Structure 1
């Protein structure tokens, strides 16, 4: 019986020395073979040295795997830069007239639009009449209408050199009517007009 105990103690001492000799930093605290394989008991438990500490615990021997660090969040896209840019701008208006009249009622919409421009290139006026009356009379009336709108715009502060006027009499009707008397005059109202074409430039914000 004493011999068996002595033999067991010698065997344990020999294994302990061998374990120390085969310890490796990767598995510090565990007994390993020459190829760095951790020795395990018959129950599958890793064989720990007497100097083993909790910091030596490896994933193979029961430690929780270290979670991979999350990927860094992408850097936010830079905010777009807005700059002012000059762009071409065009708009059309129509001034209507009563029968046989060249009296201008309102040009505020035209004046307001011109005021919104960064640069005014030109204003083109085209005067027209309806088909009632002689050609010569209507030619003169269409000219008076265009000139009346020109005067109204200049009086509102628009530079006179930017305004060009034309007159076309009863040409280019936009409405054809077969009525008679007062009804015909009312029907032809859309032909009694001055067409206003405005050309210029505006400043707008654009993304750079």
Structure 2
């Protein structure tokens, strides 16, 4: 009788050993051939000797993972007008009021939702009499104003000033022919543009 009981116990132990396998989804638990976890008469999952706390599954008492938080909604945007200002400089050849290129000015004005004003300040170098340079600086601002108008810009809001040889940005000690080249940065019309731009802003 003892031999029969021992044989039965050994057979059962061998059967359990054969089914206690490591399955990635049920690692740490005794399973049958279809990888179903064995349970006790109390409904508890049957853990084998290599079970670890991290092996616990939801089916065997682990808490369900908290759902990932929903992504925050993108902030609502709206269009708004903001103040904008930009400055440009138009340079001139010696003793000339011929305008070469105003495309950068035209492009910037075209990017504005509203044009506030355009201010033109004309200057010359120090060569020549004060009276002549005053008149030349006036011709230069008038030439820039005309070039902008010809490009389709409404110059009704343009304000012009002529300062002759005042406010030089370059002081030169060169003599002779090189003086004209050195003073080139003083032969200019400064263009100040103000207005409003339309931009996206967060509500």
Q: Same fold (TM over 0.5)?
A: yes
Shift in Å at residue 105 of structure 1?
Answer: 0.7
Distance 1:62 1:55 in 2: 6
Q: What stretches of structure 1 move > 3 A for 4+ residues in a row?
A: 61-65
Residue 56 of structure 1 and its aligned partner are, at CA, apart by 4.5
Matched, 1:100 2:95: yes
Equivalenced residue count is 154
The one of 137, 142, 164 aligned to 2:159: 164
Q: What residue ranges of structure 1 are gaps of 5+ in the alignment?
A: 1-53
Answering whether residue 80 of structure 2 is matched by residue 79 of structure 1, we say no
Among 108, 119, 126, the residue aligned to 1:113? 108
**CA displacement 1:98-124 (0-9 Å, x = unmatched):** 111101111011001000111100000
Q: Deviations over 1:35-81 (max 9, x none)?
A: xxxxxxxxxxxxxxxxxxx674155x957741112112211111222
Higher alpha-carbon deviation: 82-91 or 190-199: 82-91
C-alpha RMSD of matched pairs (Å): 1.8
SS at 2:183's partner residue? helix
Structure 2-normalised TM-score? Answer: 0.71
**TM-score, reference length from structure 1:** 0.70
> Distance between the aligned counterparts of 1:177 and 1:156, measured in 2?
35
1:105-184 residue pairs with structure 2 within 5 A?
A: 105-184=100-179
Counterpart-to-counterpart distance in 1, 2:117 and 2:137: 20
Q: Name the residue aligned to 2:3.
A: none
* Larger gyration radius, structure 1 or structure 2: 1
Counterpart for residue 187 of structure 1: 182
- Matched with 2:199 is 204
Q: Could you tell me which of 54, 57, 82 is aligned with 2:42?
A: 57
